[in-house]
Amino acid sequence: MPRTARQVSETGIYYIFANGEFSKPLTKDNEDKKQLIGEIFLAKKEFAFQVFGFSVTKNELHLMVRESNPLDISQIMKTVFGKYTAYYNSKYKMRGSLLHDRFKSVAMENIDWVKKYLRYIHQAPVKVMEHPNVFTYPFSSYNGYFAEKTNLYINDVLKSFDDDLQKSRTKYKIYHAGVELEELKGTFRHTLTMQDLEEIFVHICGISLEEYSTYKRPEKYEVARTIKKKGKLSYRQMETLLGISRGSLAKL
């Protein structure tokens, strides 16, 4: 099936998403996360683009940039992942591409979109259950908006909240405490893979799916109650993961 052309942003600002192959998580440890972030800012020196925000989790990169020249975005991402893949494959004695598919991008046409997607980026580690909150995750740009010196481009975002810097930062923090906006889902949705669901399962329950499969029905229902309470998954996702019908899950 032919690839569709990327939507060109009139503002030059893009939200970018990339995730790893199923057999290769995008990052395996914190050193990898630091390396990937470092490659973004090395590329920034080469291409002179602006970074509005980012977050790196085990298997996802969320990024927002403004390119200096039209169509730079493809070359920027090619450079970032070319160098990061070389590092990764050398470190883990692997070969081949890291990305599950080519990176995805959404054109940001106004400051409201920028703010909504920036919040989405910073909430990503919480959504995949790698960190309990937005405010202290070390591999995102959230706290760069409070720093005296930063390599982020923060002016447009902060001024959109208030002309007074202190007030704008307070409003920025309150804004990030909110939940993901529903309208984002219609524009861009990342569907959880079975691997994603398994990782959530192990994180919450502390057992493997193989061990779960040996449980009797009452024990499986106890696990399902735990997932239902803590996992924030849909009934469809829990049915896929646990092998329990949606009707039964609704009664738990």
Task: Work out the average pLDDT over 2-10.
Answer: 66
Same domain, 101 and 22: yes
- Which pLDDT belongs to residue 196? 66
Same domain, 33 and 80: yes
Same domain, 160 and 198: no
Could you tell me if residue 83 is inside a domain?
yes
Structural contact between residues 162 and 168, judged by C-beta atoms closer than 8 angstroms: yes
Same domain, 28 and 82: yes
Could you tell me if residue 20 is inside a domain?
yes
Structural contact between residues 87 and 34, judged by C-beta atoms closer than 8 angstroms: no
pTM of the model: 0.70
Structural contact between residues 202 and 156, judged by C-beta atoms closer than 8 angstroms: no
Last residue of a domain, one of 135, 162, 187: 187
Same domain, 242 and 130: no
Using CA atoms, how far apart are residues 230 and 204, in angstroms rounded to an integer? 7
Q: Which amino acid is at 95?
A: R
- Which pLDDT belongs to residue 117? 93
Same domain, 131 and 202: no
Tens digits of residue pLDDT in 197-230: 777 787 777 788 888 888 888 889 988 888 887 7
Tens digits of residue pLDDT in 238-251: 888 888 988 888 88
Could you tell me if residue 8 is inside a domain?
no
Give the angle 177-169-129 at the CA atoms, nearest 5°.
30
Task: Work out the average pLDDT over 152-156.
Answer: 97
Structural contact between residues 53 and 122, judged by C-beta atoms closer than 8 angstroms: yes
- Which pLDDT belongs to residue 56? 97
Which residues constitute the domain of residue 232? 194-251
Structural contact between residues 73 and 12, judged by C-beta atoms closer than 8 angstroms: no
Same domain, 51 and 141: yes
Q: Report how far Cα 202 is from the mean position of its chain's Cα atoms.
A: 19
For 88, the enclosing helix (H) or strand (E) is helix 72-92
Tens digits of residue pLDDT in 93-148: 988 888 877 888 999 989 999 999 999 999 999 888 888 888 899 999 999 999 99
Q: Name the pLDDT band for 190 (thresholds 50, 70, 90).
A: very low
Using CA atoms, how far apart are residues 60 and 54, in angstroms rounded to an integer? 10
Long-range interactions of 153-162: CB distance < 8 A, separation 24+: 153/50, 153/51, 153/52, 153/66, 154/52, 156/52, 156/111, 156/114, 157/52, 157/111, 157/114, 157/115, 157/118, 160/111, 160/114, 160/115
**How many distinct structural domains can be found in the chain?**
2
Unique residue bearing structure tokens 């590092």: 87
Residues 6 or more apart whose Cβ sits within 8 Å of residue 46: 79
DSSP conformational letter for 232: -
Q: In terms of C-beta density within 10 A (0-12 exposed, 13-18 middle, 19 or more buried), how is residue 21 classed?
A: middle
